Amino acid sequence: MSEYVLFKQLIDPDVCELGHYIKLGGYEGLKKALQMEPVAVVEEVKKSNLRGRGGAGFPTGLKWSFMPKDDRQKYFVCNADEGEPGTFKDRYIMSENPHQLIEGMVIGGFAMGATVGYVYIRGEFKFVADELQKAVDEAYEAGFLGKDILGSGFDFDLYLHLGAGAYICGEETGLIQSLEGHTGKPRLKPPFPAQVGVFGKPTTVNNVETIACVPDIIRKGANWFLTIGPERNNGTKIYGVSGHVNNPGVFELPMGTSLREIIFEHAGGILDGKKVKAIIPGGSSAPVLGPEHLDVAMDFDSLKEAGSMLGSGAIIVMHEDTCIVEAFARLAEFYAHESCGQCTPCREGTPWMAKIIRNIEDGKGQEGDIELLYDICSKIIGRTVCPLGDAAVFCIKGALDRFRDEFEYHIQHKKCMVENKVAIYG
Ligand SMILES: Cc1cc2nc3c(=O)[nH]c(=O)nc-3n(C[C@H](O)[C@H](O)[C@H](O)COP(=O)(O)O)c2cc1C
Ligand code: SF4
């Protein structure tokens, strides 16, 4: 990778300190933005084709343009909940290159007319929040946050808020509820946060990685960003690789890098030289793929075409000794545990699926269980307040579609077809 957009700690390990960040062009994007009309900043982000890195790939500039132009108080919220299984990328931006996130927050606030920002950080990331707070304090001291930023007349205050470790608080309306001090139960949309968000005011929620792309887009221009990655999928992506690989970790690469290159060149290939059996390409909610997909480009459009999704770009690799039933029993239990219980199909359906899959794994499966699982999936999908129910279905239905034979073997033989099975989640 010749140019790091986000992982500047790989250029200068001390970039977390303000002086070092400034030496690498830090806060130049903000200075430039403050000379522009706010609407021109939004247009530049639109032109860059930046798409949300939090899961859905929604165009960021377009989302920013939904914010009303009236005089109401507005909020810009950074989603740093990072709760999707397999996902561990945002924490590195916050702890290693925090000023880039802060700069992106101020630019976004200016562009959308928001004078207050929140970074909603999952509770377990106390150590990350401490690092980020240090950088926030430095930014206040240097006049990049607070009143009349760099003499522009624009005010922006930034607050960090620790969650309490619930996956559902990563869903943007659950996050807003939690930020307001309520239980993190998602709200129905519409109204969308741009109309009714934090404390009933217009709000935009973006992922950490999305926001951290913005300073360089403004500093170097949208045309520069368009030179990285495939059309409509521009920029770099932080891919997090875990599971049965020799060198698990996070890698910033151009969007559209193939799964094969990420797994074999960057993540060191498969443990013990084994064969790939299954790959979850974008966090647990992305339908599982097989070895025939190794040449798929890891971008929003290519993965959609392959029947899955880029999601958070978290790649979970399982080799030939993995029991798929066991692996997905664990994930089904995760969704059941994290359901907020607000709507019946998700509250009842997710534990029911988990119980059936665990029974199959334990050798207590019955004829008809697979059909029953499909039936439960069909009763959840599209019938819930938030997408957690759909996410559970994508995960479980994906495994049933691709590995039905393994589920059937377990039911018929009351045991696993894999001889020396190994754990995937430790
Ligand atoms: C159950 C659930 C959990 C989510 N968790 C996260 C998360 O941890 N971080 C995140 O950025 N987005 C998460 N999202 C997506 C957010 O709702 C929202 O779409 C995202 O923060 C928007 O940012 P973006 O436009 O920059 O992608 C989650 C969605 C769902 C349904
Ligand atoms: S889908 Fe599940 S998590 Fe989402 S609101 Fe309904 S019960 Fe809660």
CB-CB contact of 184 with 145 (8 Å) = no
What is the structure's pLDDT at 61?
Answer: 98
CB neighbourhood size of 278 (10 A): 26
DSSP 279-318: EE-SSTTSPPB-GGGTT-B-SHHHHHHTTS--TT-EEEEE
What is the structure's pLDDT at 422?
Answer: 80
What is the structure's pLDDT at 38?
Answer: 98
For residue 335 the two structure tokens come to 């969704």
Tell me the domains of the chain and their CATH numbers.
Answer: 8-226 (3.40.50.11540), 236-319 (3.10.20.600), 324-413 (1.20.1440.230)
- pLDDT reading at 423 higher than 90: no
The preferred substitution site among 169, 171, 285, 342 for testing ligand 2, maximizing ligand atoms within 8 Å of CB, is 342
pLDDT of 375-391, one tens digit each? 999 999 999 999 999 99
Give the confidence band of 425 by pLDDT, cuts at 50, 70, 90.
low
* Ligand 2 in reach of 350 Cβ (< 6 A): no
For residue 367 the two structure tokens come to 């004829």
Tell the residue nearest (CA) to atom 24 of ligand 1.
52
Q: Work out the average pLDDT over 391-396.
A: 97
pLDDT of 246-294, one tens digit each? 999 999 999 999 999 999 999 999 999 999 999 999 999 999 999 999 9
CA of 87 to the centre of ligand 2 (A): 21
For residues 122 and 62, give the distance between their C-alpha atoms in angstroms, rounded to a whole number.
27
CA of 154 to the centre of ligand 1 (A): 28
Ligand nearest to the CA of 87: 1
Percent of the chain with pLDDT over 70: 99
For residues 414 and 400, give the distance between their C-alpha atoms in angstroms, rounded to a whole number.
17
Strands (E), 32-86: 75-80
Q: Give, in degrees to the nearest 5, the angle at Cα 116 between 110 and 118.
A: 115
- pLDDT reading at 207 higher than 90: yes
Ligand nearest to the CA of 185: 2
What is the structure's pLDDT at 417?
Answer: 87
What is the structure's pLDDT at 218?
Answer: 98
- pLDDT reading at 1 higher than 60: no
CB-CB contact of 174 with 132 (8 Å) = no
CB-CB contact of 280 with 255 (8 Å) = no
The preferred substitution site among 379, 384, 390, 393 for testing ligand 2, maximizing ligand atoms within 8 Å of CB, is 384
Give the confidence band of 421 by pLDDT, cuts at 50, 70, 90.
confident
pLDDT of 128-157, one tens digit each? 999 999 999 999 999 999 999 999 999 999
CB neighbourhood size of 4 (10 A): 17
What is the structure's pLDDT at 274?
Answer: 96
Percent of the chain with pLDDT over 90: 96
* Ligand 1 in reach of 83 Cβ (< 6 A): yes
Ligand 2 atom nearest residue 380's Cα:
1
For residues 79 and 117, give the distance between their C-alpha atoms in angstroms, rounded to a whole number.
11
Cβ neighbourhood burial of 184 (10 Å; 0-12, 13-18, 19+): buried
For residues 29 and 22, give the distance between their C-alpha atoms in angstroms, rounded to a whole number.
11
- pLDDT reading at 241 higher than 90: yes
* Ligand 1 in reach of 212 Cβ (< 6 A): no
Q: Work out the average pLDDT over 185-202.
A: 97
For residues 56 and 65, give the distance between their C-alpha atoms in angstroms, rounded to a whole number.
17
Rounded to the nearest 5°, which phi and psi values hold at 85? -55, 135
Ligand 1 atom nearest residue 175's Cα:
17
Full-model pTM? 0.97
* Ligand 2 in reach of 339 Cβ (< 6 A): yes
Q: Is 261 helix (H, G, I), strand (E, B) or coil?
A: helix
